[in-house]
């Protein structure tokens, strides 16, 4: 097997998996209808510069959530990707939740 063939095979497998995942996610999940009542605290952490999931949509969902405690955290200078500011905020929330 050549390097080119291996790279193309890997790329095509990833694209196929992503396509399947997108069809499943798009066709079956409607958070505004199905996921609104929680018995645990809910923290939505989002990057202020996220273009994949607009903050207005997240805020609309957040406003409809019923939970014993809920918090919408908008991180400045952060987009959609998993990054250090998101990890730090998750750590702060988990520490607060589990240590009190």
pTM across the whole model? 0.60
Q: Find out whether 46 and 58 touch, Cβ atoms under 8 Å.
A: yes
Q: Where are the domains of the chain?
A: 1-31, 35-100
DSSP string, 33-98: HH--B-SS-EEEEEETT-SSS-HHHHHHHHHH-B-SSEEEEEETT--SS--HHHHHHHHHHHHHHH
- Do 62 and 72 touch, CB atoms closer than 8 A? yes
State the Cα–Cα distance between residues 62 and 64, nearest whole angstrom. Answer: 5
Question: Per residue in 50-95, pLDDT tens?
Answer: 888 888 988 999 999 999 999 998 888 888 777 787 788 878 888 8
């Amino acid at each position: 097997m050549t390097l080119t063939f291996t790279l193309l095979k890997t790329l095509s497998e990833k694209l196929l998996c992503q396509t399947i995942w997108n069809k499943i996610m798009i066709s079956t999940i409607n958070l505004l209808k199905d996921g609104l009542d929680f018995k645990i605290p809910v923290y939505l952490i989002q990057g202020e510069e996220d273009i994949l999931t607009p903050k207005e949509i997240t805020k609309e969902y957040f406003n409809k959530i019923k939970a014993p405690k809920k918090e919408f955290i908008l991180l400045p200078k952060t987009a959609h990707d998993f990054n250090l500011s998101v990890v730090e905020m998750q750590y702060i929330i988990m520490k607060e939740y589990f240590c009190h």
